[in-house]
Structure 1
Amino acid sequence: MTQPGAPRPTAVIFGCAGLELTEAEAALFATCQPWGFILFARNIRDRAQIAKLTADLRAAVGWNAPIMIDQEGGRVARMAPPTWRGFPPALDQAAAPDAERAFWLRGRAIALDLAEVGIDVNCAPLADIALDETHAVLRNRCYGTDVAEVVANARAMAEGMRAGGVLPVLKHLPGYGRGTVDSHLDLPRVSADAADLRATDFAPFVALNDMEMGMTAHLVFEAFDAERPATVSPIMMDLIRNEIGFDGLLMTDDISMEALSGDLPWRALAALEAGCDLVLHCNGDLAEMVRLHKALPPMTEAACRRAARALAERQPPAPVDIPALDAERMALEPS
């Protein structure tokens, strides 16, 4: 995962503030050794600029660190048209004919855009189920309205990305579909009973529990832990690991989101103590990253094993006829 004999990385994934890596950011990353990085729209201008930024991030830590992005297609696309490919909302795609094939093509096409600029991890697919009450921040990003549909489409999306040299991150464990508020701004609470949650919300994640990496949900599931969001709940982390059976590398959703209480270092440490492998910090604020660097420990041995297993799946993109792929993809998109 790193150079042989090197210290374990700090249990964090960081962003950066702008289009170029600053000297202060490079110095912090060299010292802190975050496990990986995440990019957002503020970091995106054109292909040459992104390729240089990804190379500079890896140079700062001295190894081929994973670099990720949220490129779901639809509303959540940090790399936007017309420079990069555009896609319909996932829920619209799920309702169209031959959705499973369409999601494979979607994943393969997204990987074309990411791999050519040095991005090798994508925060997708979603295995949350779209329900009538699902908050608008999530609903049309979902891959279907029932367990079987979500599982088939999420699996296809992940396999398409892998074929293009990009690793998937399954989200949002153990299920965000019943969230009725935006966890960026407030804490969603789910009052459904345990049997209903197991039969619906959790079931897609059980079927997809072999994914290399996953991301938690900042939701309270009152049937299991009425006080703590899943990200900082040892009860929910135990459920994710032992009942859902997910043994991949598990990162938090953005630790800065308002669904979480307490100051930033407290949130981050609570997530690690609950059982997350990595803290995800997205906003690129240098002062916050310095605070987290001072507070956070190295990755555990178990987290390093999971990380190594995930990164061992990185492969060069398989050859593809790009015009034919795009033509088939667009033919299957909903009108």
Structure 2
Amino acid sequence: MKHGDTIASPLWVGFDGKSLPASPLRWLAGGQVGGVVLYARNIESPAQVRSLCREIRSAAGRGNPLPLIAVDQEGGRVARFKEPPFTWFPPARACSLFCCRNEAMAEGVGAATAAELRAVGIDMNFAPVLDVDSNPANPVIGDRAFSDDPAVAAALGIAFARGSLSRGILPVGKHFPGHGDTSADSHEELPVIQAGRQTLLRRELLPFRLAARSAIPALMTAHVMYTALDRALPATLSRKILHDLLRERMRFRGTIISDALEMKAIADRYGIGEAAVLAVTAGCDVVLVCRGEEDQAETIDRLAREALDRPAFRRTVAASAVRSGRLRAWASSKERCRPAPLSVGAARHRLLSSLLREAWDRTGRTSPDDRSGNIGEG
């Protein structure tokens, strides 16, 4: 969707293959897509990723905002760039094992991860996880969270974000307002959290409140129903949660990004195109549709028709474009650190990883949170 030459589309897409397919290329050229999300299926080597990122940026038509390029590189089981040649870090929980040094470790992991992403042309990392590991039966968060203590999860997540920014990568905290207390996986179904408002404020929301106060540039939503906050809609589609709570009460001024709308928690209940409109209306500045060209085309058409029919929706998209524009401005600024191709698999990064692996191995954890996982890939 495009109105004039300055408003970026709220839609970001993913695709299959190691080079840019015809449809995303056409959508980028037409200003109908504002960003791209890369997955392991798009990655072959550092040189190939650098070339792909150049191809994506050059695809944007004249007058269109430059597309941002994002990836999920948390560490643990959510790592799209694999070892070797990239450095693999254990799950976020490993950083909490270093007592008084844990913030320094989290910041170091954020910086090292960012340096390797920056080296191949990435702009944004969908990390850190700010969820609190509050439910031992959670099938999807677990040790992706820094801690089961909200204050520790906040401190380490903010430290990771600080390290990321220091090496030229935009961090995205996730999954607002908290995915840690779920007993279901939103990739497969809609989780429902029954915790009371005061429990949510004290536990799940604390890391996000502190991250907002620290001026984290972006937050990602959770496809989760919180009955104490909104009995009708999951967070990604809820104006009560995204606008009233996050924007107004918590005073978050950064960019709000939806989790992928093709996840079954959303797609099976609302449909992709309708969900995109609901998400933008609720307060999402960016909506992700990371698989399926038919779903992506439907979303483009649905957003365009909504903007044509509803002036209020056009104004909402314009306001969102201002916020996402701040991310683009930072990503293209001279102050952003220079990419260093030799950062990929650097010895200092491997040393940091080995320290964390040793600490992690001592815990004796035998969970599935390892390098073979593929959360969000399908």
| TM category, shorter | over 0.9
Q: Deviations over 1:101-149 (max 9, x none)?
A: 1111111111122111110100001111012345131111001111211
- Superposed, 1:41-120 pairs within 5 Å as 41-62=40-61, 64-97=66-99, 98-120=101-123
- Separation in 2, partners of 1:168, 1:331: 23
Aligned equivalent of 2:265 = 259
Q: Mark the runs of 5 or more structure 2 residues left unpaired by the alignment.
A: 305-313, 362-378
Letter in 2 for 1:203: L
What displacement does 1:326 show?
4.3
The separation in 2 between residues aligned to 1:23 and 1:329, in whole angstroms, is: 38
Q: Write the mapping of 1:114-263 to structure 2, written as runs, cut at 5 A.
A: 114-133=117-136, 135-209=138-212, 210-237=215-242, 238-260=244-266, 261-263=269-271
Q: Secondary structure at 2:270's aligned position in 1? A: coil
Partner of 1:274: 282
SS in 2 for 1:279: strand
1:278-320 alpha-carbon deviations (Å, 9 max, x no partner):
111111x222211111111467222122112233333124889
RMSD: 2.1
Change (3 A) 1:221 1:138: same
Are 2:306 and 1:306 equivalent residues in the alignment?
Answer: no
CA contact (8 A) 1:33 1:61 kept: no
Aligned residues of 1:215 and 1:252 also touching (Cα < 8 A): yes
Give the letter for the 2:191 counterpart. Answer: P
Give the Cα–Cα distance (whole angstroms) in 1 for the partners of residues 6 and 165 of structure 2: 29
Instruction: Classify 1:192/1:308 alpha carbon distance in 2 versus 1 (closer, same or farther; 3 Å).
Output: same
Higher helix share: 2
Q: Secondary structure of 1:68's partner?
A: strand
Which residue of the partner structure matches residue 371 of structure 2? none
Q: Report whether the alignment pairs 1:289 with 2:296.
A: yes
Write the deviation string for residues 27-84 of structure 1: whole angstroms up to 9, x where unpaired. Answer: 1221243221100111011111111111111111145421000000110000111221
- May I ask how many residue pairs the two structures share in their alignment? 331
**Consecutive unaligned residues in structure 1, runs of 5 or more:** none
CA distance in 2: counterparts of 1:330 and 1:313, whole angstroms: 32
Distance 1:20 1:64 in 2: 18
324, 327, 332: which is aligned to 2:351?
327
TM-score normalized with structure 1 length: 0.92
User: What's 2:311 paired with?
Assistant: none
Tell me the secondary structure at the aligned position of residue 109 of structure 2.
helix
Q: Which amino acid aligns with 1:296?
A: L
> What's the secondary structure of 1:168's corresponding residue?
strand
Tell me the distance in 2 between the aligned counterparts of 1:245 and 1:78. 32
TM-score, length-normalised on structure 2? Answer: 0.82
Note the C-alpha offset of 1:7.
Answer: 3.8
